[in-house]
Structure 1
Amino acid sequence: MMNRLKVELALFWLALGFFSRIPVPANLDFSARKLNQSCRYFPVVGWLIGGCCSAVYYFTQLYFSIEIAILFAMLTGVLLTGAFHEDGLMDSADGLGGGWTREQKLAIMKDSRVGSYGSIAIWFVLTLKFALLLSYSSISVSSYNSIMLALLIAHPLSRTVATVMMFISPYVRETADTKSKSVAEPKHNSDLVISLILGLLPLLLWPELILPMLFVLVIFVFCFRHFVHKQVGGITGDLLGLAQQLSELLIYMVLIIGLQG
Structure 2
Amino acid sequence: MKNMVYGAILALQFLTRFPLPVNCSMDHNTLKWALRFYPFAGLAIGGTLYLIYNLLNGLLPLYMLTLILLTLWVFLSGGLHLDGVMDVADAVGSNGSTEKKIEILKDSRVGSFAVLSVIFLLLWKSVLLYAVLDSSENELFIIAIPMMARFQALLQLFVFHPFQNKGMAHYWKQHLSMRDVIIAACWVLPFAITQVTLIILFSLQICFSFIFGKWAVRQFQGVNGDTVGASIEGAELWNLAVLYSLFLFGIV
TM score, norm. by length of structure 2: 0.90
Separation in structure 2 between the aligned mates of residue 41 and residue 254 of structure 1, nearest angstrom: 25
2:121 pairs with 1:130: no
What are the Cα deviations for residues 30-49 of structure 1, in whole angstroms up to 9, with x where unaligned? 35774354111010010010
RMSD: 2.1
What are the Cα deviations for residues 174-199 of structure 1, in whole angstroms up to 9, with x where unaligned? 5325xx56334242221111112212
Partner of 1:233: 221
Residue type at the aligned position of 2:147:
P
Cα pair 1:36 1:182 within 8 Å, conserved: no
* Counterpart mapping for 1:34-183 below 5 A: 34-140=30-136, 142=137, 146=138, 148-176=139-167, 180=169, 182-183=171-172
Separation in structure 2 between the aligned mates of residue 89 and residue 52 of structure 1, nearest angstrom: 23
Question: 1:26 Cα shift?
Answer: 2.5
Q: Is the alpha carbon distance of 1:249 and 1:195 closer, same or farther for their aligned partners in structure 2, counting shifts above 3 Å?
A: same
Cα pair 2:39 2:151 within 8 Å, conserved: yes
Q: Is the alpha carbon distance of 1:139 and 1:62 closer, same or farther for their aligned partners in structure 2, counting shifts above 3 Å?
A: closer
2:214 pairs with 1:218: no
Question: 1:257 Cα shift?
Answer: 3.2
Question: 1:63 Cα shift?
Answer: 2.6
Question: 1:232 Cα shift?
Answer: 0.8
Question: 1:23 Cα shift?
Answer: 2.2
Percent identical among aligned pairs is 26
Separation in structure 1 between the aligned mates of residue 225 and residue 158 of structure 2, nearest angstrom: 13
- Number of residue pairs the alignment of both structures matches: 249
Residue type at the aligned position of 2:177:
H
2:248 pairs with 1:253: no
Question: 1:135 Cα shift?
Answer: 1.2
Cα pair 1:228 1:234 within 8 Å, conserved: yes
TM score, norm. by length of structure 1: 0.87
Structure 2 stretches lacking a partner, 5+ long? none
- 4+ residue stretches of structure 1 with deviation over 6 A? none
Question: 1:108 Cα shift?
Answer: 1.2
Separation in structure 2 between the aligned mates of residue 196 and residue 234 of structure 1, nearest angstrom: 23
Partner of 2:182: 193
Q: SS where residue 27 of structure 1 aligns?
A: coil
Cα pair 1:33 1:185 within 8 Å, conserved: no
Q: Is the alpha carbon distance of 1:48 and 1:224 closer, same or farther for their aligned partners in structure 2, counting shifts above 3 Å?
A: same
Q: Is the alpha carbon distance of 1:185 and 1:196 closer, same or farther for their aligned partners in structure 2, counting shifts above 3 Å?
A: same
Q: Select 1:28's aligned residue among 24, 28, 34.
A: 24
Cα pair 1:157 1:202 within 8 Å, conserved: no
2:5 pairs with 1:9: yes
Q: Is the alpha carbon distance of 1:31 and 1:25 closer, same or farther for their aligned partners in structure 2, counting shifts above 3 Å?
A: farther
Q: Is the alpha carbon distance of 1:126 and 1:84 closer, same or farther for their aligned partners in structure 2, counting shifts above 3 Å?
A: same
Q: SS where residue 140 of structure 2 aligns?
A: helix
Cα pair 1:171 1:183 within 8 Å, conserved: no
Question: 1:104 Cα shift?
Answer: 1.5
Cα pair 2:82 2:230 within 8 Å, conserved: yes
Q: SS where residue 225 of structure 1 aligns?
A: helix
Cα pair 2:35 2:176 within 8 Å, conserved: no
Structure 1 stretches lacking a partner, 5+ long? none
Residue type at the aligned position of 2:6:
A
